[in-house]
Amino acid sequence: MELYRGKNGTLEARVPKNFPFEISYREGLGRCLFATREIRPEETVLTDSAILLGPSNPDVCIVCCSERDRRKCRLCDFYVCSWCIDSHSDEECSVLVKVGYTRDMYNVVLPVRFALLQVRDNDMFTWLLQYMDHNEERNRKNKSLRRSTERMALIVSSSVQGISIDLALQIIGILFTNCFEFSSQTIRARALYPLVSLINHSCIPNLRHTNLIKEMRGVNLNGEIVVMELETQRTVMPGTQLTIRYNHYTQGNLQRQKFLSEQWFFRCHCQRCEDPTEFGTNTSGLPCNHCSGIILPTSDQGWVCNQCGETESIDKVQLMEEKLLNLAETKPCPFNITTSLQQLHNLSKILHTNHFILMDLKEKFLFGFSMNLRKVRDLSLDQKRKLVPLWSAQEKYCRQLLSYHEILDPGKSPLKTKLLLELRKILLIQSKVLSEENKDKDELVRKLNEVKGLNQMVYTQVSL
């Protein structure tokens, strides 16, 4: 991304011509990214490097954000591992000396880095200050967070020259709103990406984002950098706004709206949220108290039954959802295949097949009772016969989960690969039993043919 001064002196950003998108300003949306040409599924649209990276945990090195060793800088007393001691800048160190080390001061490192940009890269600093901080809404909603933010702002402004308390508050708000958590096996960080921060949310986005650590070997840079890679989930037509997901797609309507309004202070009106059936899945639908229909998230005011038209208040729906979640989370006693299947059966009588509570339970059942092929081989035919209902249920759930996830999260995903592998394994087990029984030859051929097809699919999904 390149920053330049526009005609009236305002700071603008542009991306290289060969990028498949441009940064554009739209009324009501602010700056966002729009496709400039057709983008095919699974195309890498952008690899955005973190402009600011800071620890999200008190126990990691403040430079690389990993817990390699527990060395501290002799001067500022903050954690800086042996690998990073040379890249720990004097400028930052002298500010951190003023901050003074305490265990929770890792929180101040990222705002300090942002503040230091003012001198190091003033254009980037000015550009980042245009991002939303949502301070007003956050202060209104969360009094204790407001107090701790004010304390933090005071520390930043008294330690970094030229940063007023108001500016420090704005910086902290921008970081709250725009940072992404980055957590790998070793790294615990929060990162700010200049371009990714411009991408709006949708519950059915066209981009999938992945955090990555890239090895860089170059003249000026040696080592690892944190990047976010964005890949298209489906075909994107020119002029379409690029979107990512801020939440998890297996949440129901109420959970999604709650999360988005608490974290980002907006109500989502994406295609999925505007469709009460959520693309025909009815994944948020709850049983109607008056008839056998399901009540769906029809409007902000209330939910409506798809059969009798009776409306239900959001508060009541919320209570009902909580009750059902508790019911699903209570493990049957004794906990085994039979009682778990019974629990699923009972819930499926009151919830839609695709309800998110039920889908989650099916996934847990599928992988929780997943069987090892070698173990199955050692069982007697009688023992295998007893397990036939388990494998039939698993086969059914696998298929339901695959189509459910394909609707709500189109394109390749690690979960779908895992489900395909599981389905392949279950079909192999079933084929083995069928061939031993020597009864249903047609069924055996059908299953083996499907396994052959799945091999192809799985191998194109898993990178070998």
Segment contacting Zn ion by CB under 5 A, of 55-63, 105-113, 133-141, 185-193: 55-63
Task: Check binding of 61 to Zn ion (CB under 5 A).
Answer: yes
Nearer to Zn ion, 34 or 266 (CB): 266
> What is the per-residue binding string for Zn ion in 202-231, x denoting contact by CB under 5 A?
-x----------------------------
Is residue 357 within 8 Å of 351, Cβ to Cβ?
yes
* Six-digit token string for 5: 């001064």
By C-alpha distance, which of 390, 373, 461, 391 is closest to 420?
Answer: 461
State whether the Cα torsion 252-255-258-260 is positive or negative: negative
Segment contacting Zn ion by CB under 5 A, of 65-73, 130-138, 230-238, 420-428: 65-73
Alpha-carbon span 146 to 261, nearest angstrom: 17
* Six-digit token string for 351: 């919830």
Segment contacting Zn ion by CB under 5 A, of 157-165, 270-278, 330-338, 401-409: 270-278
Alpha-carbon span 195 to 243, nearest angstrom: 12
Segment contacting Zn ion by CB under 5 A, of 214-222, 263-271, 329-337, 356-364: 263-271
* Six-digit token string for 172: 């902290």
Alpha-carbon span 128 to 52, nearest angstrom: 11
Task: Check binding of 108 to Zn ion (CB under 5 A).
Answer: no
Segment contacting Zn ion by CB under 5 A, of 14-22, 37-45, 93-101, 107-115: 93-101
# of chain residues touching Zn ion (CB under 5 A): 21
The residue from 33, 50, 81, 174 that contacts Zn ion (CB under 5 A) is 81
Residue 125, burial from CB neighbour count under 10 angstroms (0-12, 13-18, 19+): middle
The residue from 33, 84, 99, 192 that contacts Zn ion (CB under 5 A) is 84
* Six-digit token string for 452: 């052959």
The residue from 293, 302, 410, 411 that contacts Zn ion (CB under 5 A) is 293
Strand order in the sheet with 207-217: 44-49, 222-232, 207-217
The residue from 33, 45, 51, 76 that contacts Zn ion (CB under 5 A) is 76
The residue from 93, 132, 337, 347 that contacts Zn ion (CB under 5 A) is 93
Residue 11 Cα to chain centre, angstroms: 31
Q: How far is the CB of 273 from Zn ion (least distance, A)?
A: 3
Alpha-carbon span 464 to 460, nearest angstrom: 9
Segment contacting Zn ion by CB under 5 A, of 117-125, 218-226, 284-292, 335-343: 284-292
Task: Check binding of 268 to Zn ion (CB under 5 A).
Answer: yes
Nearer to Zn ion, 53 or 128 (CB): 53
CB atoms within 10 A of CB 167: 18
243-244/200-201 β-pairing: parallel
Q: How far is the CB of 349 from Zn ion (least distance, A)?
A: 16
Nearer to Zn ion, 117 or 288 (CB): 288
The residue from 13, 39, 53, 73 that contacts Zn ion (CB under 5 A) is 73
CA distances from residue 211 to 1, 50, 65, 191, 461 in whole angstroms, order as listed: 19, 10, 14, 10, 19
Nearer to Zn ion, 186 or 353 (CB): 186
Q: How far is the CB of 433 from Zn ion (least distance, A)?
A: 43
Angle at 422 between CA 416 and CA 424, to 5 degrees: 105
Residues found near Zn ion in the complex (CB under 5 A):
61, 63-64, 73, 75-76, 81, 84, 93, 203, 268, 270, 273, 288, 290-291, 293, 305, 307-308, 310
